[in-house]
Amino acid sequence: MLDIKLIRKEQEKIEAKIRTKEPGLELSTVIALDDKIRVIKTKNDQLKSKRNELSKKVGELKREGKSGEELMEEVRGIGDMISSLDHELKTLEAEFQDALAKIPNIPADGVKVSQDVADNVCTKTVGEKPTFDFEFKNHLQLNEKLRLFEFHRTAKTTGSGWPAYRGLGARLEWALLSYMIDIQILNDFEFWLPPVLVKQSIMFGSGQIPKFDGQYYHVSGGETPLYLIPTSEVVLNGLHFDEIIPEEQLPIKYAAYSPCFRKEAGAAGANERGLIRVHQFNKVEMFSFTKPDQSEQMHLEMIDVAEQILKGLGLHYRLCELVTGDMSFTAAKTIDIEVWLPAQNRYYEVSSISNCTDYQARRSHIRTKGKSGKTELVHTLNGSGLATSRLMVALLENNQNSDGSVTLPPVLQEKLGMKQLKAAN
């Protein structure tokens, strides 16, 4: 969430920057609400001061043995006005917070301004696209004989877009997750297995709602309504909700494995079938809390960790800096890491690493305090390290052989005790 003081001070500048993310967005509504709140608060303070003054006079009259009934009646009338204004203030403050919460984070200086994803700036390419001297298959065709994952049977149990890994596929998925967790730990990220359900306040704090409310799975029936997390970024950010973190503890680096749940599985069509877009997928997430002057360096470190994973898997990938219109609601700067999927004949994102500056921290009331005693908001960063569903597609399609087998990268050979995935009997 943005600071209303900054919005008021630099309205035109902030509005221009935000419109590079969401064209047509105006700050006049939130400023008008803030103006009304200020007027009512001033009026309320004046009434409370007058009530106190009159109450004091009533007390003096009573001590003198005189009737203070007229003044007492006036005090009661003022109390009614204060009560009415308090009610109006509560309504206005709720409207103000809702309006403020729907304003996205400000893009960082230097981020390219565009609404066209084709304008994303590719800053680095590693490896080469594979070449095949045979008619290669997509991951669904390969799976017909390898039998690594299942959609047909889970359509019976849960519905379309909910995959299950089976047999060697389940082992491969687990090996992939284990390998990525190993890399996180080697880079000093503390590993977590967090809850997959969170409170509404935690979803709000990470920036998922109210902007995207309705796009996530909501669980009711318990003591508190809960949400299934779309990413463990949500719960990792929430671990320090409403805290002051001592400056000497920063930066804090967390990694977590969790299944992730999203209602919108994506567009239909041949290129979006199978594991490309699903309602549930596995992911290892990186998350960091830093001092404001540490976040740019941490962003680079997190990108490097994701690259280490992909280099270890031997996959061809590229880094793209997202334009303003393609960034997430909470991000000030984002680098996407995309792998090449041969059967789709295009790159797909497997990691999105963002510096959210103090946006999530303001929503979540996460601060830090140093020796000077000054309290300030921390910066938060998040990034996939990595999401496995598209990574699984990349491993299968890029490493396939003419007989339908798939050669595993050495890091996974060690974990599975085999060099290739072969057709199931």
Q: What is the pLDDT of residues 91-115, one digit of tens each?
A: 999 999 999 999 999 999 999 999 9
Q: Which of 349, 367, 376, 405 is catalytic?
A: 349
Q: What's the order of all strands across the beta sheet hosting 317-321?
A: 121-126, 317-321, 333-341, 346-355, 379-387, 280-290, 252-261, 190-192
367 as an active site residue: the answer is no
Contact (Cβ atoms closer than 8 angstroms) between residue 218 and residue 203? no
| Nearest residue to 260 via CA among 392, 396, 388, 393 | 388
390 as an active site residue: the answer is yes
* % of the chain surpassing 70 pLDDT: 97
Output the pLDDT for position 50: 87
d(CA 165, CA 169): 5
Output the pLDDT for position 268: 47
Considering the domain 117-421, what is its CATH architecture? 2-Layer Sandwich (3.30)
352 as an active site residue: the answer is yes
Question: What angle is formed at CA 299 by the lines to CA 22 and CA 342, rounded to 5 degrees?
Answer: 75
402 as an active site residue: the answer is no
Q: Which of 206, 295, 390, 397 is catalytic?
A: 390
Q: Which of 51, 171, 277, 362 is catalytic?
A: 277
pLDDT class for 221, splitting at 50, 70, 90? Answer: confident
19 as an active site residue: the answer is no
d(CA 203, CA 229): 8
CATH code 3.30.930.10 region(s) in the chain: 117-421
Q: 35 CB contacts (<8 Å, ≥6 apart)?
A: none
CATH code: domain 28-101 is 1.10.287.40
Tell me: the pLDDT tens digits for 387-412? 999 999 999 999 999 999 999 999 99
d(CA 392, CA 148): 10
pLDDT class for 132, splitting at 50, 70, 90? Answer: very high
Q: Is pLDDT at 265 greater than 70 in this prediction?
A: no
Output the pLDDT for position 214: 81
Output the pLDDT for position 267: 47
Contact (Cβ atoms closer than 8 angstroms) between residue 402 and residue 423? no
For the question of whether the overall pTM of this predicted structure is more than 0.75, the answer is: yes
Query: Length of the chain in residues, anyone?
Result: 425
Q: Which of 262, 338, 363, 364 is catalytic?
A: 262
Q: Which of 206, 351, 352, 364 is catalytic?
A: 352
Q: Which residue has the higher pLDDT, 125 or 271?
A: 125
CATH code 1.10.287.40 region(s) in the chain: 28-101
